[in-house]
Amino acid sequence: MSEATKVEAAYGAEQIQVLEGLEPVRKRPGMYIGTTGPRGLHHLVYEVVDNSVDEALAGHCDRILVALNDDGSCLVTDNGRGIPTDIHPRTGRSALETVLTVLHAGGKFGSGGYKVSGGLHGVGISVVNALSEWVEVTVHRHDQVHRQRFERGLPIGTLRSEPGEPGEQGRTGTTVCFKPDIEIFSGGIEFDYATLSARLRELAYLNGGVRIVFRDQRTAALGENGEPHEEVYFYEGGIKEYVAYINAQKDPLHPNIIYVNAEKDGVQVEAALQWCVDAYSDSILGFANNIRTVDGGTHIEGLKTVLTRTLNAFAKKRGKRKDADANLAGENIREGLTAVLSVKVPEPEFEGQTKTKLGNTEVRGIVDSLVGEALGEFLEFNPSVIDLILEKAIQAFNAAEAARRARELVRRKSVLESSTLPGKLADCSSRDPSESEIYIVEGDSAGGSAKQGRDRRFQAILPLRGKILNIEKTDDAKIYKNSEIQALITGLGLGIKGEEFDTKSLRYHRIVIMTDADVDGAHIRTLLLTFFYRYQKSLIEGGYIYIACPPLYKVERGKNHTYCYNESDLRKTLDGFGEKANYTIQRFKGLGEMMPKQLWETTMDPTTRTMKRVEVEDALEADRIFTILMGDKVAPRREFIETHSAELDMAQLDI
């Protein structure tokens, strides 16, 4: 009998694996939380907090506390109704134990517990339980305190109940404390304060009137007086305050934020809009049941449609456009717009691989109807506001026409024509974008070393002369007339700003920014990142942008040498030599100082190099920081630098 036949013969019912309870979650955690890296780790907190927010949506909770503890655990407590503790008729166990140990058990399915739910597309607290070393739940309900502990998904004992403390009569709520399992999150279980802070602040904006307290009581975060670091997020104005926060460093075109809050057919629509003078792109944040819909959806489509129709109607009504004139395009009308749109849908349908696109077709019409009615009423009573918005939109339309003519020049020129890229692009021989990469370097000196040191088969080099335009404060017409920007657009195959990005036109799937390790290099790197973020954000979201990490030092001792990539590397290397050893240190201030072979060995060889991939964890914060650092206003930039300079070792600043 052959080996293959033996295997087939042994395949029977006994080989079929049946996973009980929460075993599937521990076996395949990525299926439930996406990844066991940092994003999945923080998702556990969001799942628990979502339960508290759902109580707030139902009108039963207005205070939530999130605390990070020294032992690596996270505590979430609220003043909601408390998880039910009576016996569940189907499981024969307490409802609390059922919710913690049975997948998809909860009050969010059917018409029982919640009208709308923020965590419906999520995986529930049972998955948090499965992926934690331990979970302790405390429920205050009916003047009783109920407690139960779980370890790696399994209940330890049964639910314990006792009378509440004196003075706590009437107290209700749930407290969940959990410690992620290091066996699952092998990369570490340390929560990042900034990551959690951004999401909790966002939730507070989206649920006006709910007070969220975020406390870091880990030893490293304690103040001089031993008090934990604490922030309170409480915004009675809700998303109106959210828009004000986003636009804090911009010049609003109109001081009053346009606000809509209405309901139709069970769908609640809340929108806040404000146009700014000093912005050349729009910033629209969409949410469905508190979930950030980064891929848009029917609610965003409805908003864009009604904005275009309403403002074009007002343009004719106010005599700004004649009947024979072409309508203003949607992107013209939205230029400079900051908008937050939040919908609450009883039965949300999410699409896309990451489940971040709303698919409910009925929502498009509901948003169109409700926003159109409120927007029309506001503009009727505020004629000066509509005139300002229309003037900006018409300027954008005229600039777009000039940009279109400039774009046509770009479109007509082939990437390989010398008139487009006069001797700048040293292309690779491969025509497969998935294996090709391009290094964007500053100046001819660094470009020369990179061209000689590269692997010509898959590595292309594009040297830039000087500092490119800061497109944060440049209109489209000027962008397309700039030769360095043209070189980037055509050399990389970036297409046209504002049009949907087609990855098939991208000529390289790794775009590497390689600049000198000094102030000028950092500035050029920032200008390039600003260009990619504002011109074609999809490049960053798709993971195509990288930053090269060349060494800062070369330490030679005898015939041996070591490259050091930061100050810490240098200290470790020198400490390893022992006292007054003989060595020499070379500081690389520019890539042009490195020999081609050195540049290849340290920075460009895929087998030895280190590169950082650029990602956007928080689009709102990224947008705000780009505005501060690259916008017109000097005062916010100065304040930002002064505030954050304390976090840097200023003695090491290379000026």
Q: Show which residues are catalytic.
A: 442, 516, 518, 520
DSSP letters spanning 548-587: E---SEEEEETTEEEEESSHHHHHHHHHHH-TT---EEEE
CA separation for the pair 1, 296 (Å, rounded): 58
Neighbours of 122 (CB within 10 A): 19
Kindly give the residue spans of alpha helices, DSSP state H, lying in 207-338: 239-246, 298-317, 330-334
Burial degree of 217 (CB within 10 A; 0-12, 13-18, 19+): middle
What b/e readout covers 32-57, taking b as 16+ CB neighbours within 10 angstroms?
bbeebebebbbbbbbbbbbbbbbbbb
DSSP lists the bridge partners of residue 351 as 357
The residue type found at 116 is V
Q: For residue 258, give the nearest of 366, 397, 395, 381 by alpha carbon.
A: 381
Q: Amino acid identity of 447?
A: G
Q: What are the strands, taking DSSP E only, across 394-456?
A: 437-442
Q: Which amino acid is at 31?
A: M
Beta-sheet strands, E only, within 142-240:
144-151, 154-163, 173-180, 211-216, 229-233
- Give all strands of the β-sheet with 258-264 in edge-to-edge order: 258-264, 267-275, 337-344, 283-288, 291-292
- DSSP-derived secondary structure letter, 192: P
Q: How far apart are CA 108 and CA 66, in angstroms?
A: 22
Phi, psi of 161 (to 5 degrees): -130, 145
**Residue 466 and residue 524: Cα distance in Å, rounded?**
8
Residues 6+ apart with CB under 8 A from 194: none
